Amino acid sequence: MKKKLLLGVLLATTVGVFSVSCSSSDDSRKEDEGNGNTTSARYQHKVLIEDATGTWCQYCPRVSYAIQKAKENGTHGDKVVAVAIHQGVSSYPDPMQIPAGVTLDGMFYESYGLKGYPFGLINRTTTWKSPENNNIAQVLNTINEQGSTVGVKISSNLTTTGGTVTASFKFSQEYENLKYTIYVIENGVVTPQSPQRNSTAFYQGQGANFTHNDVLRGVSGIVTGNVLGNVTAGQEVVKGNQSVSFTLFNNDLTKVEVVVFVSDTSGKVLNVQSAHANETVDYVLIN
């Protein structure tokens, strides 16, 4: 009996060592000892706005303005992450359109029944209704001040044409069939914008020299989400050196950001993080 027990222990140890040694450097997984189905860790929660827009759309700059006002909020503005997904029309092509944006637009139409511009999604669960300055509360109220059970860390090694992003994730509860997405966005893109009739002073900037921010320029891997899989409480998953390529309007990496988010089986965004190009943003624990 003792020999059988000893053999079992040795076999289990060997299997454990083999499993660790076979882990890919691009998908390393670590688990804290002693954790059960949940842990007490909570990470700062941020909200993702995906703004479907176009330079032909006379109403769309009002959404850009609402996003700007949300980001300027003194309490929660730093917890708002926006991505502007541009798509043109045959009579008015949009110079900021990229194939990934067309795919996303189709996915939003198929999954959420959204059509007509502009439309925005908040964490891929809620349509941003009447995204005006007086309705930014719909965005800010989505932020969970108690934190998220998903933490996101970002680092990157980018040039003005592409590079790699390392996205790391920590979890304080179990999840199944998760996905992660990596966007590269650009700020300060100056292009023409169809002017709006009877515009206020803000919108009078529309025309030949309208400044667009949060413009989607590239997506790493699968546009609709990369497989993250099943995770356990206390686990860390690192997706290292994920390649991405893009074309910038400005030859200026200070205007480039990386956005990383995690979504569940329903498509809901559990948490999102952003970081400037070639800068590291670590996990932000709130307890």
DSSP β-bridge partners for residue 231:
175
Residue 108's contacts (CB-CB under 8 Å, 6 or more residues apart) are 50, 52, 114, 119, 121
Q: State how far the alpha carbon of 5 is from the alpha carbons of 8, 9, 10, 238, in Å.
A: 5, 6, 9, 35
Highest-confidence segment of 102-111, 135-144, 192-201, 268-277: 268-277
pLDDT, tens digit (0-9, with 9 covering 90-100), for 157-181: 999 999 999 999 999 999 999 999 9
Q: Indicate the burial class of 257 (C-beta count within 10 angstroms; 0-12, 13-18, 19 or more).
A: buried
Nearest to 172 by CA among 90, 268, 285, 252: 285
Highest-confidence segment of 132-136, 185-189, 195-199, 207-211: 185-189
Residue 130 has pLDDT above 60, yes or no: yes
Q: Which domains does the chain have, with CATH numbers?
A: 28-276 (2.60.40.10)
Query: Is the model more confident about 60 or about 184?
Result: 184
pLDDT, residue 15, reads 35
pLDDT, residue 196, reads 61
Q: What values do phi and psi take at 183, rounded to 5?
A: -110, 150
Tokens of 156: 């990157």
* Lowest pLDDT segment from 8-17, 32-41, 120-129: 8-17
Residue 243 has pLDDT above 80, yes or no: yes
Q: What's the rounded Cα separation, in Å, for the pair 229 and 77?
A: 31
pLDDT, tens digit (0-9, with 9 covering 90-100), for 29-83: 654 443 446 789 999 999 999 999 999 988 888 888 899 999 999 999 999 999 9
Residue 257 has pLDDT above 90, yes or no: yes
Q: How confident is the model at residue 127 (pLDDT cuts 50, 70, 90)?
A: confident
Q: How confident is the model at residue 118 (pLDDT cuts 50, 70, 90)?
A: confident
pLDDT, residue 88, reads 93
pTM of the entire predicted model: 0.86
> With the C-alpha atoms ordered 271, 275, 277, 278, is the resulting torsion angle positive or negative?
negative
pLDDT, residue 171, reads 98
Per-residue burial over 6-25, b = 16 or more CB atoms within 10 Å of its CB, e = otherwise:
eeeeeeeeeeeeeeeeeeee
